[in-house]
Amino acid sequence: MKMQMVTGIILAGGKSRRMGQNKALLRLGNETLIGHVIHRIQPITDELLLITNSPEEYIHLGITMHGDIIPNAGALGGIHAGLAYASHETVICVGCDNPFLMPNLLTYLVSVLGKHDAVMPWTDKEEGQITLQTLCAVYSKRCLSIIEEMLNELDLRVHALQERANVLCLSPEVWKTYDSEGHSFFNVNTPADFEKAQVIYGTLRELV
């Protein structure tokens, strides 16, 4: 049975304030961070969209771009735009600064979506609260109306979607089968993160 058609959306709407420059275009090895993201997600999607309000910076990538529909709404606004523009009901959503996404994990997230509104891995638990990986997750278009309600109420917390929608939260015991080190969730926000990314990149290259 053929798996459902999937749209991939990459969010590149952050200001990169902590990095001091556009982190998506930093070079890791012979490719930019966003180039690594595209390389890992494109083969497992039927459509790929970049959500950005600075299309001139990414025109060289040759992929379809859209801006936020509702401005200044952070990552939730980017997810909203991605879902609105997606041609398919199932959407993989990732950040532009996640260079170590594991395609097998993303494919698994798609496979278990079913009647859930979204599938989100969680990575740790502190004082009973889990940390959801909302930008390495799969969303159904059913989330669109729910997110619109959140935006209208100025509730911009992406993780709050679990309070309103049928979200499947995957425990480490499950997702580590596909990404034992959790590299998919590593994102680059600071110069220190970028230094760590170079170490991880070197390690992963040695394993190939």
Does the global pTM surpass 0.85?
A: yes
CB atoms within 10 A of CB 67: 15
pLDDT in tens, 97-110: 999 999 999 999 99
- Is 1's pLDDT higher than 50? no
Q: What's the pLDDT at 124?
A: 81
DSSP reduced 3-state for 118: strand
Question: What is the separation of C-alpha 78 from the centre of its chain, rounded to a whole number of angstroms?
Answer: 10
Q: What is the mean pLDDT of residues 4-20?
A: 82
Q: HSE of 157 in the Cβ direction (CA atoms, 13 Å)?
A: 9
Each residue of 177-193: pLDDT tens digit?
999 999 999 999 899 99
Domain 6-207 has CATH 3.90.550.10: yes
Q: How much is the average pLDDT of 159-166?
A: 95
User: What's the pLDDT at 204?
Assistant: 84
Taking only the tens place, the pLDDT of each residue in 18-31 is: 676 889 999 999 99
Question: Is residue 120 classed exposed, middle or buried when 0-12, 13-18 and 19+ CB atoms within 10 A define those classes?
Answer: buried
Mean of per-residue pLDDT scores for the chain: 92
Cβ neighbours for 20, distance < 8 A, ≥ 6 positions apart = 191
What 3-state DSSP class applies to 207? helix
Residue 143: which of 53, 9, 24 has the closest Cα? 9
152 vs 167: CA distance, rounded Å: 21
Domain ranges of the chain: 6-207
Measuring CA to CA, which residue among 106, 132, 112 is closest to residue 121? 132
Nearest of 97, 105, 163, 173 to residue 135 by alpha carbon:
97
In 3D, which of 62, 73, 91 has the Cα closest to residue 14? 73
CA 10 – CA 164 distance, rounded (Å): 24
Q: What stretches of the chain show up as alpha helix (H) in DSSP? A: 33-41, 74-85, 103-111, 143-152, 172-175, 191-207
